[in-house]
Amino acid sequence: MAKAKNKKSSILIIYTGGTIGMVQHPQTGMLTPVRFEQILEEVPELNKFNLNIQTEVLNPVIDSSNMNPTSWIKIANKIKKQYNKFDGFVILHGTDTMAYTASALSYMFENLDKPIILTGSQLPIGMLRTDGKENLITSVEIASSKKDGKSIVPEVCIYFDSRLFRGNRTVKSDSELFSAFHSVNYPELAIAGVDIKYSSKNIYQPENKGILKVNTSFNDNVVILKMFPGISRSVFNSIFNIPELKGVVLETFGSGNVPTTRWLISCIKRAIKKNIIVLNITQCEGGRVVMGQYETSIELIKAGVISGKDMTVEAAITKLMFLLGQGLNTDDVKMYLNKSLRGEISE
């Protein structure tokens, strides 16, 4: 029994690319990737943890702007393969699409009972003022943290600049500040100061825990269409008539409103009759879609548009891709879009 109690926690760090693993070329000043081993050499503080830390590298290492469902599946399969060997996972990822990857992974991992923490940095880890060291060190500590033998945060999260967010509630809000991410519609899961203070009431705990299941199918025949004053009929119709289109995330005004122009509503109705799913998401940073609150959204209800409630755009588009990839019929996809699968919607 004593031997079991003294067993070190094990953390797997997966490096996918991004600014955290870049160095400046001395002549050109351009950022180029470094060997992953160099990142760990830059953070010797990790050796002070009483942890078994191992590393893997996504092959090939990519800029986060090149992330896609194939990359998400590679990351998920690496975790799935090593799931029973480790107590938590830290994914080093570029900031630009981190919220998309976090959202996608949250749907892929069913019955997750270990932390998957995504982090990165705004400055390369080799630079003097880098934010990468603190982000990596604290992510590792959170990923290894347990209470009564169970992981404190058994969900997919983003840790950045002293704050831990639910992954599918997070958006990148700034390209320059160290506080690059925020979550308007859901509170932080933890704040790291002198101590790491966890908000247990905000941490997602699935009602029915079961055996881990990793679903790795996506359908990328989807599009995000952002409404703006003056959007033309030809543009709108062209998007809804894309060959093989299966779903549209419609970024609407305010609480879910669109112009009541007859051609626009007719185009949406025709698409829905062809089993194209239309999901209504607000353009606003905070708040939620409340269809029927104003006359301009009543027509969307009549047409069969689904309310995305308070999902982020990142959570909405990845959820749509994920559900369309599961072989469900149209009615079931609509039903699950309206339900919270991993805490992405406020009930």
Are 160 and 231 members of one domain? no
Q: Is 119 a catalytic residue?
A: no
Query: What is the model's pLDDT at position 160?
Result: 93
64 with 210, same domain? yes
Span 219-247, pLDDT tens digits: 999 999 999 999 999 999 999 999 999 99
Residue at which a domain ends, from 214, 230, 262: 214
The dihedral through the CA atoms of 48, 49, 53, 55 has a sign that is negative
Residue 232 sits in which domain range? 222-337
- Same domain (yes/no): 261, 170: no
pLDDT band for position 3 (50/70/90)?
very low
Domain identity same for 99 and 156: yes
Beta strands in the chain (DSSP E): 9-15, 22-24, 31-33, 51-57, 88-92, 109-110, 116-119, 146-147, 150-151, 156-160, 163-166, 171-172, 181-182, 190-192, 196-198, 213-214, 222-226, 247-252, 277-282, 306-307
Provide φ and ψ at 14, rounded to 5°: -110, 120
pLDDT of residue 4: 47
Rounded distance, CA 306 to CA 281, Å?
9
pLDDT at 283: 95
Region 191-207: what's the mean pLDDT? 90
* Pair (135, 62) in one structural domain: yes
According to DSSP, the residues that pair with 278 across neighbouring strands are 248
- For residue 100, how far is the Cα from the chain centroid? 4
Same domain, 123 and 9: yes
Q: What tens digit of pLDDT does each residue of 138-170 get?
A: 999 999 999 999 999 999 999 998 899 999 999
pLDDT score recorded for residue 340: 95
Measured between alpha carbons, how far is 139 from 51 in angstroms, rounded to an integer? 13
- Domain co-membership, 52 together with 180: yes
Q: What is the pLDDT of residues 82-115, one digit of tens each?
A: 999 999 999 999 999 999 999 999 999 999 999 9
Residue 1: pLDDT band (50, 70, 90) is very low
Q: Which of 16, 19, 95, 101 is catalytic?
A: 19
**Which domain CATH number covers 94?**
3.40.50.1170
167 and 205 both lie in a single domain: yes
Q: Dihedral of CA 114/120/126/130: which sign?
A: negative
Overall domain count for the chain: 2
CATH label of the domain that carries residue 319: 3.40.50.40
Do 130 and 92 belong to one domain? yes
Classify each residue of 224-255 as buried b or exposed e, where b means 16 or more C-beta atoms within 10 Å of its C-beta: beeeeeebeeeebeebbeeeebbbbbbbbbeb
User: What's the mean pLDDT in 157-185?
Assistant: 91
What local confidence, expressed as pLDDT, does residue 125 receive? 76
Asked if 225 and 277 touch (Cβ cutoff 8 Å), the reply is no
Domain shared by 62 and 209, yes or no? yes
Measure the CA–CA gap between 120 and 97, rounded to whole angstroms: 11
Single residue among 169, 194, 214 that ends a domain in this structure: 214
pLDDT at 133: 86
Tokens 């081993």, located at residue? 37
pLDDT of 2: 42
The predicted pLDDT at position 30 comes to: 73
Instruction: Give yes or no: residues 179 and 237 share one domain.
Output: no
Average pLDDT, integer, range 15-23: 82
Tell whether 344 is covered by a domain: no
3-state secondary structure of 193: coil
The model's pLDDT over 248-276, given as tens digits with 9 standing for 90+, comes to 999 999 999 999 899 999 999 999 999 99
Question: Looking at the domain assignment, is residue 107 inside a domain?
Answer: yes
3-state secondary structure (DSSP) of residue 224: strand
Three-state SS string over 7-69 comes to CCEEEEEEECCCHHHEEECCCCCCEEECCHHHHHHHCHHHHHCCEEEEEEECCCCCCHHHCCH
Is it the case that residue 123 has pLDDT exceeding 60? yes
Q: State the average pLDDT for the chain.
A: 91
Q: What percent of the chain has pLDDT over 70?
A: 93
- Please indicate, yes or no, if residue 346 is contained in any of the structural domains: no
Query: Could you tell me if 248 and 317 are in contact, meaning their C-beta atoms sit under 8 angstroms apart?
Result: no
Does the reported pTM lie above 0.85? yes
At residue 157, the pLDDT reads 98
